[in-house]
Amino acid sequence: MLTSLSQIGPLEEFCSQFDACLLKVTILEPYAVSIFLKAVNPKIGGPVKMFQPETLREAFYLVKIQDATNKSAGISSMSKNTITTSAVVNKYSSARKSTKKSPHPVTE
């Protein structure tokens, strides 16, 4: 049951669900941390894995920080797309257009 969990709602709800399921099993803490980070939304768990949390307390703390960071950056943990690339592509395209030389030089 614990390994079948995955975050589909708000982070706080998921942490509560995970904690409740964890009380029903006996596993080593490093394994519980691994399961938790795989089950939490990848936009949250992915960056947290870099810090290699060793305890669930540390992992819970780090995912809450990452979730707040994502929210302040406008990245929803509920959506499938991490970043909308159209704005980046449009910005890049317009910058390239302004630096290209005209095929017809302007003469006075």
Instruction: Report the candidate in 40, 85, 83, 82 with the shortest Cα–Cα distance to residue 65.
Output: 40
pLDDT tens, 15-61? Answer: 999 999 999 999 999 999 999 999 999 999 999 999 999 999 999 99
Q: If DSSP codes are grouped into helix, strand and coil, which group holds residue 1? A: coil
Structural domain spans, the chain:
2-99
pLDDT grade, residue 106 (50/70/90)? low
Q: Which residue has the tokens 């257009």?
A: 97
- For residue 63, pLDDT over 70 is answered with yes
- C-alpha closest to that of 21 among 47, 48, 3, 46: 3
Between 63 and 108, the higher pLDDT residue:
63
**Cα gap 40→60, rounded to integer Å:** 10
